[in-house]
Amino acid sequence: MAGRKILVTGGAGFIGSNLIDSLLAQGDTVVVIDNFNDFYAPAVKRRNAAEHSAHPAYTLIEGDIRDDAALDRAFQHGPFDVVVHLAAMAGVRPSLLQPAHYMDVNVVGTQKILDRIIPHAEKTRLVFGSSSSVYGGRSGESFKESDRVDQPLSPYAATKASNELQCYAAHHTAGLQVVCLRFFTVFGPRQRPDLAIHKFCHLIDAGKTVELFGDGTTRRDYTFVLDIVAGIESAMTYALPGFDVINLGRSEPVMLFDMVKSLEKHLGKTANIVHKPMQIGDVPYTYASIDHAREVLGYSPKTSFDEGVRRFVEWYVSSRAKV
């Protein structure tokens, strides 16, 4: 269904900007709020936003989701058919150093977004970007949406679990239609530079040491960003029962060593690896059960891990050439 009015928080970021490519191409009107913080180079996000800025159906509000004046500017363009809430302080390890800041941005900021949507609960659907980190330390079996998520291993994970509870409370008390999407290790073009695939790609390309935490056998359910975008778009339109939680992954965990090998292959270079102990907050294993996503969203990830790495490296080399 095209021609909708959609708000994307954090829309200048990695997942948000890829989503907006698709929404604008479909004929939707898109409003973005993003604060261009310095968690990583703001210039990266400004380049993402610049790719959309000339489009007549795109409006950018520069501001923080905790700032009432910025939210006023964004929501004056509403009411919205869909709000896709992706804005957050991200990252497990950084959250160990700034737990109060993560709680402030992610929990207080999300509540402010909910408070703005609730008066329009009959019209607006919220699609919330959650995280596989809510599952905590697990191994072996796949992670199902019905699993307990009450033992987070980092402040970041705790904020995402809290956000899901906030969303449910808004559904229960105000009838807001909410779907929480638990993203599993998203990668691809425009990936944040602090994330492993981008970080390792840069280090291998530059001939620098690559620090692997653990023995290299940790596994992640890496998911290509355009498969995540397809899942988000389906979540905007499916027959939502009121409140739902859905995993979006590839359901094929990849060993850390194999991730490095794929980068080496597509870069045509060899990594200089140094092993380090596992860090506090890291989980050893992620593995999405995507049965529910297949059933209700028709979700079917199309991009293999190796093909996704090839496309990421192609983007990385092209972006490096433009700097």
Report, as residue numbers or ranges, the catalytic residues.
156
Q: Rounded distance, CA 184 to CA 236, Å?
A: 19
Angle between helical axes of 305-322 and 196-205 (0-180°, round to 10) = 60
Q: What share of the chain is helix, strand, coil (3-state, %, to 5)?
A: 45, 20, 35
E-strand ranges in 140-297 read 177-183, 186-187, 209-213, 219-220, 223-224, 243-248, 254-255, 272-276
Provide the 3-class DSSP secondary structure of residue 266. Answer: helix
State phi, psi for 22 to the nearest 5 degrees: -70, -40
- Helix (H), strand (E) at residue 162: helix 155-174
Please choose, from the candidates 168, 72, 86, the residue with its C-alpha nearest in 3D space to the C-alpha of residue 127. Answer: 86
Element (H, E) at 60: strand 58-62
164 φψ region: left (φ > 0), alpha (ψ -120 to 50), beta (else): alpha
Q: Residue 91 in contact with residue 156, Cβ under 8 Å?
A: yes
**How many helices (H) and strands (E) would you count in the chain?**
12, 13
